[in-house]
């Protein structure tokens, strides 16, 4: 029997990949006097902040291209040297499952760089196949990123139709549900319609709704009727309010406000406070220099009283198209 643990369950480690590509964060062709030119350097500092925040919480497994370039942090991480393109380990790492309550296995979905939108990233599909993980990797042959699925560790999974059918247009809900049951131990799937506007992942669930306990879900919510996300998130909220698990038990739904961030060209950035990472002892929560930052942090502090909630300035990270949760992938512990 396979089981996909919830994110708040004990971790052995977290997987991250050191940022190295200016293309990923829109800094390659910026003039030297532009604040965007040095964005990659600022992203590196954010990674160091995250690594420091995770010290004493869980082992950081850091993927790098050349170990010699990172001697300054060697004592803080376990390094894995390989060829890779980008930082989004959430999406190209396996879904780590526990097999028969006694050993780990990796469900390695096919990573398509978000429907082949970014051909330079396609090689990341091979990253975890190239590493010695000490576990079996199972390949179901389905295009999927882990950021597209959210689960409570007790058989219930949330996803969006928008994302799963964008990747696999010829599949049905029933086929997905059978795959999730076979490989993740899922007995109930809650289908939301879509994710937030402008998300190049085609609606990843980790920007929309997150389990924080087996029967408690935080849901991104927009109060402004004129906002593009208002109707989308209202519909998601109503769906979750009436949803139940496989034993017909309802969920408590907590509204999480939406930040409002624009890129320098004035375009709306796809950002959300739902893209937090739950570590063993801390919660890493993105902030955006937005009036709702403090409110979102207080909500998360109330939901995780036994963990320290650490704010991570994510105003540069979003230029790469993701957030804190997108660049972290937990590896569960066998207890």
Active site residues: 326
User: What CA–CA distance (Å, rounded) separates 226 from 188?
Assistant: 34
Cα 260 off chain centre by: 20
Torsion of CA 324, 302, 98, 14, to 10 degrees: 30
Does the CA dihedral 85-91-94-98 come out positive or negative?
Answer: positive
Q: Give the integer Cα–Cα distance in Å for 144 and 167.
A: 7
What does 56-104 look like in DSSP terms, one character per residue? TTSEEEEEES-GGGGGGGTTTSEEEE-----S-HHHHS-EEEEETTTEE
Rounded to whole angstroms, the Cα distance separating 24 from 121 reads: 9
List all residues 6 or more positions away from 138 whose beta carbon is below 8 Å from its beta carbon. 105, 106, 107, 108, 183
**Residue of 135, 122, 129 lying closest to 85 (CA atoms):** 122
The torsion region of residue 80 among left (phi > 0), alpha (psi -120 to 50) and beta comes to beta
């Amino acid at each position: 029997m396979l089981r996909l643990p919830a994110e708040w369950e004990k971790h052995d480690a977290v997987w991250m990949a050191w940022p190295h590509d200016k293309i990923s964060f829109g800094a390659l062709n910026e003039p030297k006097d532009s604040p965007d030119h040095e964005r990659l350097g600022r992203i590196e500092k954010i990674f160091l902040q995250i690594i420091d925040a995770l010290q004493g919480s869980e082992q950081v497994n850091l993927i790098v291209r050349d170990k010699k370039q990172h001697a300054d942090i060697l004592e803080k991480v376990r390094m894995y040297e390989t060829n890779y393109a980008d930082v989004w380990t959430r999406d190209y790492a396996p879904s780590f499952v526990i097999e028969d309550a006694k050993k780990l296995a990796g469900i390695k979905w096919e990573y398509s760089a978000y429907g082949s939108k970014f051909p330079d990233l396609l090689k990341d599909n091979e990253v975890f196949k190239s590493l010695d993980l000490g576990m079996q990797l199972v390949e179901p042959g389905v295009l999927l990123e882990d950021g597209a699925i959210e689960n409570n560790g007790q058989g219930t999974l949330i996803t969006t139709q928008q994302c799963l059918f964008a990747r696999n247009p010829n599949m049905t809900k029933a086929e997905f549900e059978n795959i999730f049951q076979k490989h993740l131990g899922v007995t109930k799937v809650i289908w939301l319609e879509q994710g937030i506007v402008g998300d190049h992942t085609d609606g990843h669930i980790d920007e929309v709704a997150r389990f924080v306990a087996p029967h408690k879900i935080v849901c991104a919510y927009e109060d402004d009727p004129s906002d593009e996300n208002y109707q989308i998130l209202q519909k998601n909220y109503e769906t979750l309010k009436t949803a139940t698990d496989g034993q017909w038990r309802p969920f408590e739904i907590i509204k999480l406000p939406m930040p409002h961030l624009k890129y320098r060209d004035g375009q709306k950035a796809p950002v959300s406070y739902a893209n937090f990472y739950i570590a063993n002892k801390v919660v890493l929560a993105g902030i955006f220099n937005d009036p709702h930052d403090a409110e979102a942090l207080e909500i998360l502090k109330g939901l995780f009283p036994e963990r320290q909630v650490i704010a991570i300035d994510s105003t540069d990270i979003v230029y790469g198209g993701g957030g804190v949760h997108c660049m972290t992938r937990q590896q569960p512990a066998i207890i």
